[in-house]
C-alpha cells in the first residue's frame, strides 16, 4: 500500500500542459463561458444552434496553481475531471436558481479549491477542507489568485480535515499549537457548519479504504446540526484487480454499497439515499475538455427515520 502511494499519476486535464522543467507548480486558466440567451436564425429562417467552440455569452477566468503530476497522497494538487463537471453543475445552479445563494457549505477533499472559488461568488461562508500542509497551502494560494471573483461579503476558510479523525474536532490549537495553526478549527467554525445546508465533494472515490473513511466522516458531518445535501462527483477509473481477476472501477463498488438509490430497496433506520444527476443536461461552460462517459454526479441525503416509524 505504501508503494502504491508513491506511484506518480497525472490527470487527463493536464495532458495539454508543457512538460514541467522543475518541480515548481504550474498555472492553468479555466475560462467559463455563459451560453447566449438569444436565438439566431439563418437567411432561410432556420434555427442556428450555438457551437461549443465559439462561446457567445460573457465569460470569466479562474487561475489555478497546480502540479502536473503527483503521487496518490498528493492528488489534491491536480485538477481532475469530475471536479470540472461538478463545477459546471454548480455554476449552472448559480445561473438558473437561487439554491446556492447565501448558503453556508462545506467541501470535502477540496484540492485546488476550484469549486470553492465558484461558490464564493454567491455563498455566505465556505469551508474548504483537505489533508496535508502542501495541499491546503496550494488551495489557499488559489483563493488569493482569484479573490477578485468573490462576493465581497463571502467568507472562505481553508481547514484541515482528516476523514479518520473525530468530528467535531476538539480544540486543535490546544492539542497541537504548532501544527498547521492557520488551518485549525475554532468554535465559531463549528457553529457555522451546524447550520450549513450543502456539502460538496469531487474525485474522492478511487480506493476502498478512502471511501470507507469518507462515509464514516459523512455520517457524522451530515447528522451535525441542520439537514445537509451532498453533491458528489466521481469518475470511474478502471484497473485490473488481482483479487477479482477482472477489470474493476476502484472504489466504485464500495461507494455504491453505501448509497441506496432513491426509491429502490429497503430503507434502513439510517441510510444514505441518492439519485444520479443527468450530466447531459448540464451546459458546457468549459470548452476545452472532454467529459467522457465515466463521470457521475450524485445528490445524496443522509436519511434519519423518525423514532415513531422505528417502533415495533
Q: Quick: pLDDT tens for 263-296.
A: 665 656 669 999 999 999 999 999 889 999 999 9
pLDDT for residue 176: 56
Which of 46-50, 89-93, 226-230 is predicted least confidently? 46-50
pLDDT for residue 162: 96
Average pLDDT of span 54-75: 82
Cell reading at 162:
482528516
For the cut 70, the answer to whether the pLDDT of residue 243 exceeds it is: no
DSSP secondary-structure letter at 255? H
H or E, element range at 188: helix 187-194
Residue 243 has φ and ψ, to the nearest 5°, of: -70, -40
Contact of 248 with 239, CB cutoff 8 Å: yes
Give 51: exposed, middle or buried? Use CB within 10 Å, 0-12, 13-18, 19+.
exposed
Q: What pLDDT band is residue 304 in, cutting at 50, 70 and 90?
A: confident
Q: Which residues pair with 234 in a beta bridge?
A: 296
Higher-pLDDT residue of 178 and 33 is: 33
For the cut 60, the answer to whether the pLDDT of residue 217 exceeds it is: yes
pLDDT for residue 151: 96
pTM given for the model? 0.86
Contact of 232 with 218, CB cutoff 8 Å: no
pLDDT for residue 257: 95
Higher-pLDDT residue of 24 and 162 is: 162
d(CA 245, CA 45): 58
Residues sharing a CB contact under 8 Å with residue 302, sequence separation 6 or more, in sequence order? 218, 219, 222, 223, 227, 228, 230, 270, 271, 272, 273
pLDDT for residue 248: 73
Residues sharing a CB contact under 8 Å with residue 276, sequence separation 6 or more, in sequence order? 261, 296, 297, 298
pLDDT for residue 109: 98
SS3 5: helix
The per-residue pLDDT for range 134-151, each reduced to its tens digit, is: 999 999 999 999 999 999
pLDDT for residue 38: 39
CATH homologous superfamily for 80-310?
Vaccinia Virus protein VP39 (3.40.50.150)
- Domain residue ranges in the chain: 80-310
Higher-pLDDT residue of 50 and 164 is: 164
pLDDT for residue 47: 44
Amino acid at each position: 500500500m505504501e508503494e502504491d502511494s508513491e506511484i506518480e499519476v497525472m490527470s487527463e486535464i493536464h495532458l495539454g500542459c508543457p512538460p514541467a522543467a522543475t518541480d515548481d507548480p504550474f498555472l492553468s486558466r479555466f475560462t467559463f463561458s455563459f451560453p447566449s440567451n438569444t436565438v439566431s436564425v439563418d437567411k432561410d429562417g432556420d434555427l442556428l444552434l450555438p457551437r461549443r467552440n465559439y462561446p457567445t455569452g460573457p465569460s470569466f477566468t479562474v487561475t489555478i496553481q497546480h502540479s502536473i503530476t503527483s503521487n496518490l497522497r498528493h492528488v489534491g494538487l491536480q485538477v481532475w475531471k469530475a471536479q470540472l463537471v461538478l463545477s459546471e453543475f454548480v455554476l449552472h445552479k448559480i445561473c438558473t436558481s437561487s439554491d446556492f445563494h447565501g448558503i453556508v457549505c462545506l467541501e470535502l477533499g477540496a484540492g485546488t479549491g476550484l469549486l470553492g472559488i465558484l461558490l464564493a461568488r454567491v455563498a455566505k461562508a465556505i469551508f474548504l477542507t483537505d489533508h496535508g500542509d502542501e495541499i491546503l497551502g496550494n488551495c489557499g494560494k488559489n483563493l488569493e489568485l482569484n479573490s477578485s471573483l468573490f462576493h465581497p461579503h463571502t467568507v472562505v476558510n481553508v481547514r484541515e480535515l482528516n476523514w479518520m479523525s473525530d468530528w467535531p474536532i476538539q480544540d486543535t490549537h490546544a492539542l497541537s499549537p504548532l501544527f498547521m495553526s492557520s488551518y485549525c478549527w475554532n468554535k465559531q467554525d463549528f457553529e457555522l457548519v451546524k447550520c450549513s445546508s450543502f456539502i460538496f465533494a469531487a474525485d474522492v472515490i478511487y480506493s476502498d479504504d478512502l471511501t470507507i473513511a469518507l462515509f464514516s466522516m459523512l455520517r457524522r458531518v451530515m447528522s451535525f446540526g441542520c439537514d445537509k445535501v451532498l453533491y458528489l462527483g466521481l469518475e470511474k477509473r478502471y484497473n485490473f484487480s488481482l483479487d477479482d481477476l477482472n477489470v474493476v472501477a476502484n472504489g466504485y463498488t464500495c461507494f455504491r454499497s453505501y448509497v441506496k438509490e432513491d426509491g429502490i430497496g429497503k430503507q434502513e433506520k439510517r441510510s444514505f439515499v441518492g439519485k444520479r444527476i443527468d450530466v447531459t443536461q448540464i451546459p458546457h461552460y468549459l470548452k476545452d475538455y472532454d467529459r467522457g462517459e465515466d463521470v457521475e454526479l450524485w445528490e445524496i441525503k443522509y436519511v434519519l427515520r423518525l423514532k415513531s416509524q422505528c417502533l415495533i
